[in-house]
Amino acid sequence: MHDTSGPAHLDDIDRQLLRLLAVDGRASYAALAPQVELSAPAVRSRVQRLIDLGVLQVVGVSDPSALGYPVQAMVAITTQGDVRAVADAIGTVENVIYQVLTTGEHDLLAEVVCRTPEELLEVVNDRIRAVPGVLSTRVWQYYGIHTIRFMVGQPDPVTHARSQPLVVTLPTRPAAT
């Protein structure tokens, strides 16, 4: 069960474990232990606490391009009525891999992955725009993903200095022919 009473209080070891796991989520407790100067059981306990607090999820991150989905886009959606109901319906579209409710000109942003530009057109025109409550869409097709942040820096409660997030800059890939 996640504690939702406020931000989790993390110490330097917690933040170091988060950075190490962002680099290699499959690292063993025994491999992490000497890097944070704790025993493997103590690392296991800390990692479990971070999971229980909802601070950490250890997941596999796949590359859509490597899986045959080289066409990626952000779709901004303007809605009418209950935005959550619209988001629920759009969330059933298999090509939609991420959604956020937003403020401003658009109510939702949906990240979409497709095999071809034609499939992107079908997903946006025939699936997303067909959802009741969708008034308009705006599509930005990606050239490529440049930066992914796996960890957001959090201020140290004592020094108030921000820890440095792990930032991965992806190599530029030649376009598929």
pLDDT, tens digit (0-9, with 9 covering 90-100), for 141-160: 999 888 776 655 544 444 45
User: Are the beta carbons of 50 and 42 closer than 8 angstroms?
Assistant: no
pLDDT, tens digit (0-9, with 9 covering 90-100), for 72-93: 999 999 999 999 999 999 999 9
Question: Which CATH code is given to the segment(s) 71-141?
Answer: 3.30.70.920
- Closest to 154 (Cα-Cα) out of 14, 1, 35, 60: 14
- What pLDDT shows up at residue 153? 56
Question: What CATH fold (topology level) applies to the domain 12-60+150-169?
Answer: Arc Repressor Mutant, subunit A (1.10.10)
Q: Tell me how far apart the terminal alpha carbons of the chain are, to the nearest angstrom.
A: 47
Q: How confident is the model at residue 43 (pLDDT cuts 50, 70, 90)?
A: very high
Rg (CA), the chain: 20
- The average pLDDT across 95-103 equals 96
Q: Is the pLDDT of residue 24 over 70?
A: yes
- What pLDDT shows up at residue 5? 63
**From CA 14, how far away is CA 23, in angstroms rounded?**
15
Average pLDDT across the chain, whole number: 85
- The average pLDDT across 9-38 equals 91
Hey, where are the domains in the chain? 12-60+150-169, 71-141
